[in-house]
Chains A and B, each alone.
Chain A
Amino acid sequence: MLKVESIDVFYGNIQALKGVSLEVKNGEIVTLIGANGAGKSTLLKTISGLLKPKQGDILYEGTSIAGKAAQTIVKQGISHVPEGRRIFANMTVEENLELGAFLRKDKQEIQQDFEKVYHLFPRLYERRKQLAGTLSGGEQQMLAIGRSLMARPRLLLLDEPSMGLAPLLVKTIFRIIEEINSFGTTILLVEQNAHMALSVADRAYVIESGRVVLSGTAQELNASEQVKKAYLGGH
């Protein structure tokens, strides 16, 4: 479904990604783990069109999307939940969700998706008239995910959805990620919480200072000494 082929991405003179390749197959949950500053967010931003790769290509359903405008990529079915949620704090929950469906014109189906999102996150329904900035951290994360689902993505990019959440909420979020996947949405999940990420993922990639250093099935990486030592706190 998605093939990233040895891309180089720069911020000015600083190279953040060095020949990164990665593949996500239809229906999978693939996770990308790595330390702070490894280049995880940079990769997601490049896939969703916020950054342009200098070298290499990104193929989505067989056609190149590298360097295309973000709106074109959203339209093709890739939705990105950015790091730190980035909800529109000065708008209501409902308006945030509406913005998620910005490019869609199918009014009735949008209405159905509202219901689906509210079903997935009943809290959002209760707070739909509330300003998004007044939500708790966990609710904001739910809103960010719900908002991206409003675009009806076939591929969902999630950037550290568990960041800053209490353990119980982390579990909830991961359960919801699995649920979204079970409805047929393919997921590329960036996480620092390697333990949780590997428990839901089919396959995983490990990225270090802009390079993919390890990849395999989730079980393989779970068993790998290198991963245990660096990302699973030794247990």
Chain B
Amino acid sequence: MELIQQLVNGISLGSIYALIALGYTMVYGIVRLINFAHGDVFMIGSFVGFYAVTSFHVGFFPALLLAMVSCAILGVCIERIAYKPLRNATRIAVLITAIGVSLLIEYGTIYLRGAQPEAYPSTVLPDKKIEVLGVTVNSQSLLILGVSIVLMILLQFIVHKTKIGKAMRAVSHDAEAARLMGINVDNTISATFAIGSALAGAAGVIFGIYYTKIDPLMGIIPGLKAFVAAVLGGIGIIPGAMVGGLMLGVIESLVSGLGYSLWRDGVAFIILILILIFRPAGLFGKNVREKV
């Protein structure tokens, strides 16, 4: 039973990784850039949710929505200001810029509000123990899982059924051909940043409720792990990010469940190294990208 408990924890944690990983993978898919500021967008989302609940006394869903919208705007600003001027620059220049943006957001936040952590008001979601087939699960975990699943389904719908989603897929496959269809590539890239960042914002709020403590540097480790999850699933592949995130969460929880909790963080990076050695394109990736 302990094992199933850990499994449930792992899936909840994994769904948070998955939400962040989606942003990494979507942005990589469309501009071939690892947006290292993505973990910090997650952190901002967490704080927006925190202030919405504590200062404006809104409920969980309005706070979630507010965090998502704020992060979408932040993501678009980051793209337009920092990355767009570098679209034809070398990859290393863009990478260094991404790290710069990340530090700017982290220390900008510390400058504005200080480095002290906050206790997330977890009362915004009902916290009950529920017995399911002899396993006690926390009602919060279930809600968190539910919200994550709904967001991922929504994303799949946007990407596959809407015009902007089809434009995103077209641009990520071949930007020049997409321009010949009349697709505005710049706007499509911005939309991708907006959607990816909104998901990170949602993950931030969910993370806060789940782990109850947030601080301006909280985005670093989940950001790195979500990056590992994206690579695990195959960077640029949306279902890969979802599965990669869930797998990573479950593996971490099982490792701590087996009594090796000190190894929890290390495991993610061992997985990264193994993936890069044995299957660099990720679980869902074709090992050779077809180029016609």
B290 at the interface (CB under 8 A from A): yes
Contact in complex: B177, A151 (CB < 8 Å):
no
B89 at the interface (CB under 8 A from A): no
Instruction: For residue B46, give the distance in angstroms from its CB to the closest CB of chain A.
Output: 34
Contact in complex: A89, B180 (CB < 8 Å):
no
B112 at the interface (CB under 8 A from A): no
Total of A-B residue pairs, C-beta within 8 Å:
65
Contact in complex: B290, A133 (CB < 8 Å):
yes
B182 at the interface (CB under 8 A from A): yes
Inter-chain CA distance A99–B181, complex, in Å, is 6
Contact in complex: A102, B182 (CB < 8 Å):
yes
Residues on B with beta carbons closer than 8 Å to the beta carbon of A84: 292
Contact in complex: B182, A88 (CB < 8 Å):
no
Instruction: For residue A156, give the distance in angstroms from its CB to the closest CB of chain B.
Output: 12
Residues on A with beta carbons closer than 8 Å to the beta carbon of B182: 70-71, 74-75, 102-103, 151
A50 at the interface (CB under 8 A from B): yes
A contacts with B, residue count (CB < 8 A)? 29
Inter-chain CA distance A142–B117, complex, in Å, is 60
Inter-chain CA distance A50–B169, complex, in Å, is 19
Which residue in chain A gives the minimum CB-CB distance to B167?
Answer: A102
B184 at the interface (CB under 8 A from A): yes
Q: Which of B199-235 contact A (CB under 8 A)?
A: none
Inter-chain CA distance A87–B179, complex, in Å, is 12
Name the residue among B169, B170, B181, B183 with the largest chain A CB count within 10 angstroms: B181
Interface residues on B, range: 10 to 19
Q: Which of B153-173 contact A (CB under 8 A)?
A: 163, 166-167, 169-170, 173
The digit string for A59-94, where 1 denotes a CB below 8 A from any CB of B, is 000000000011100110001101011111111000
Q: Interface residues of A: mostly helix, strand, loop or mixed?
A: loop
A53 at the interface (CB under 8 A from B): no
Which residue in chain B gives the minimum CB-CB distance to A103?
Answer: B182
Residues on B with beta carbons closer than 8 Å to the beta carbon of A102: 163, 167, 181-183
Residues on A with beta carbons closer than 8 Å to the beta carbon of B131: none
A: which residues have CB within 8 A of B?
48-50, 69-71, 74-75, 79-80, 82, 84-91, 95, 98-100, 102-103, 133, 147-148, 151
B: which residues have CB within 8 A of A?
163, 166-167, 169-170, 173-174, 176-184, 290, 292
Can you sample 15 A-B contacts with CB below 8 Å?
Answer: A49-B179, A50-B176, A74-B180, A82-B176, A82-B177, A86-B174, A88-B170, A88-B173, A88-B177, A91-B166, A91-B173, A100-B181, A102-B163, A103-B182, A151-B181
